[in-house]
Amino acid sequence: MLKGTGVSAGIGIGKALLIEEHSLEYTPVTITEPQAEKERFNDAVKTFCENTKKQADALRISAGDKEAEIMLGHISLIEDPFLTGEVEKLIEGGQCAEAALEQMCDMFISIFSAAEDDLTRQRAADVRDVKAGMLGVLLGIEDVKIGDAPKGSVIVVRELTPSMIAEIKKENIAGIIAETGSTTSHSAILARVLEIPAVMSVDDAMLSIRGGDTVICDGSAGVVIVSPVEEELKEYEAKRERFVREKAELDKFRGKPTVSADGIRYELVCNIGKPDDAAKAVDNDGEGVGLFRTEFLFMDKTSVPTEDEQFDAYKKAALILKEKPLIIRTLDIGGDKEIPYLGLEKEDNPFMGFRAIRYCLKYRSLFKTQLRAILRASAFGNISIMFPLITCVEEVRAGKLLVDEIMEELRAEGIAFDEGIKVGIMVETAAAAVIADILAKESDFFSIGTNDLTGYTMACDRGNGNVAYLYSVMQPSVLRMIKRTIECAAREGIPVGMCGEAAADPLMTPLLISFGLTEFSVSAPSVLRLRKNIASWTKERADEVAAEAMRLETQAEIKEYLSSVIG
């Protein structure tokens, strides 16, 4: 048995097809006619873009318009004036096109790979895909033809790229296994859209699996079984049938309200990182967006996005949602989110340092630009503003004063905006939870970020293996922080949501129902499963479970108890 990361749920059983990548090695040469070499480079760019456009068209048919945008993003990357300009400068300095391209791509790969958050790191894979495609064109090497895979194939590859996925004939592929990759990579996203079971980060898969081997690919559990015995085949064939039945059962909840067994209505919304993700929320039957992580708009640029650029992004998301709620979190940088051009100084402990609302309140011009863009976009939908990493009431008041100041400016300029726009906060620090009664008087709503709340409350970094055992939302201290926050919000009559990973955890559902959570904000693929889960609980039964859980003294006891109750 091989283990990896399940990135696309389901069970795939078939014959292994190893995809060997062509060598892209070359011998760098010194250029004496830079103009001719620049023309060769630009011709290669044109050919690459034509090939990628065809891949995008194929992906549009097999997966949809939004997924095709991933491939079109590769075109935008190679046509970026900064990248092409720097490549041409290197060519003028005597480098061949291959070497110049590789140097610039490797620079971006290094920057993205060094980031601590997975979403930024996955962009390195996109750059590697573009680099490989461009080198293939320059060297006259044909792409790997994954589209020729026979029916019942389980693809095994070192790194699955979006350009490979674009060639896939969905009906022929039983599963995908890759040595690299993560749940947030574009390839993983595409595998989920195509509903192909996939396991990534499988060490030495290309060495451990031979072409033609029978392989079981469990994309739900992140497990790969090579040459299974008859009993294993029967077991996983039964699992595959069960998965198909459960998926059909979930589809029954599409288009239905999110209601508990005793009729209590909840809001079930999605977390997004860019405007196009709002369409994924709608497609997955989300009731709106509970968290728009705006930092990704800044990460996708080489300079601060202008007010109009931000306005267009927020407006686009609002129009896609068609009056469904859209909560936009203001810029949350620092910690594990670095944006080089903003010039954040290196800190010994960045999670405790100059980040999020603290940065924005100091750099008021940048903050004001973002708030103006959000307010302008509010004329086109149901938008709310949310401040991250609040630790004291002064931060909330300072942010609200700036919002009021901008409103006055917009009125004077005759620019429309929502006069009744709601302003809320993220409760993701122990400090905010402790003074939730005070903060509730200053806020229109709360959203609990359990990822940071757990880390800050337990004083542990989940990325540090020595203390990761402490990182659990089911720690009694963290559960008490959540319960108190919700109770304080209820006393002031404001809604409270949760946008951390715990919102989608079925073990947490009865506790959150009992505590009085009003909104669950989760990843788009989690919507229907959570709606089904909520529908199975009554408030009375949830209260019984929560009462027992809160009497327990350790996170292990709480988790064991909840697991036994939910089965």
Domains of the chain (ranges, CATH numbers): 2-20+145-231 (3.50.30.10), 34-138 (1.10.274.10), 262-566 (3.20.20.60)
Give the span between the Cα atoms of 413 and 408, in whole angstroms: 9
- Has residue 336 got a pLDDT over 70? no
233 within 8 A of 241, measured Cβ to Cβ: no
Give the span between the Cα atoms of 555 and 113, in whole angstroms: 34
452-470 mean pLDDT? 86
User: Does the annotation count 186 as an active-site position?
Assistant: yes
Confidence of residue 554 (pLDDT cuts 50, 70, 90): very high
- Has residue 343 got a pLDDT over 80? no
Residue tagged active-site, from 49, 186, 217, 488: 186
150, exposed or middle or buried, with CB in 10 Å at 0-12, 13-18, 19+? exposed
Non-local (6+) Cβ contacts of 531 within 8 A are 253, 256, 258, 268, 285
Confidence of residue 103 (pLDDT cuts 50, 70, 90): very high
Residue 469 amino acid letter: Y
Give the span between the Cα atoms of 202 and 178, in whole angstroms: 6
- Residue 255 phi, psi (nearest 5): 80, 0
- Has residue 400 got a pLDDT over 80? yes
CA–CA distances in Å: residue 522 to residues 202, 284, 287, 525: 27, 11, 11, 8
> What is the enclosing helix (H) or strand (E) of 546?
helix 539-551
Residue 337 pLDDT: 58
> What is the enclosing helix (H) or strand (E) of 136?
helix 118-139
Residue tagged active-site, from 49, 105, 488, 499: 499
User: Does the annotation count 74 as an active-site position?
Assistant: no
- Which of 129, 136, 127 lies closest to 98 in space, CA to CA? 136
Residue 58 pLDDT: 82
Following CA atoms 291, 293, 294, 298 in sequence, which dihedral angle do they give, to the nearest 10 degrees? -170
What are the beta bridge partners of residue 289? 270, 326
Percent of the chain residues topping a pLDDT of 90: 66
Q: What is the pLDDT of residues 240-266, one digit of tens each?
A: 999 989 888 998 999 999 999 999 999
What are the beta bridge partners of residue 269? 521
98 within 8 A of 26, measured Cβ to Cβ: yes
Q: What is the pLDDT of residues 497-546, one digit of tens each?
A: 999 788 999 999 999 999 999 999 998 888 999 999 999 999 999 999 99
Q: What is the pLDDT of residues 409-455, one digit of tens each?
A: 999 999 999 999 999 999 999 999 999 999 999 999 999 999 899 99
Give the span between the Cα atoms of 138 and 147, in whole angstroms: 22
Mean pLDDT of the chain: 90
The helix/strand/coil state of 86 is helix
Q: Return the beta strands (E) in 179-288 as ranges.
A: 198-200, 214-218, 223-226, 258-259, 265-272
> What is the enclosing helix (H) or strand (E) of 328?
strand 325-329
522 within 8 A of 271, measured Cβ to Cβ: yes
CA–CA distances in Å: residue 327 to residues 211, 378, 388, 527: 49, 11, 12, 17
Residue 184 pLDDT: 66
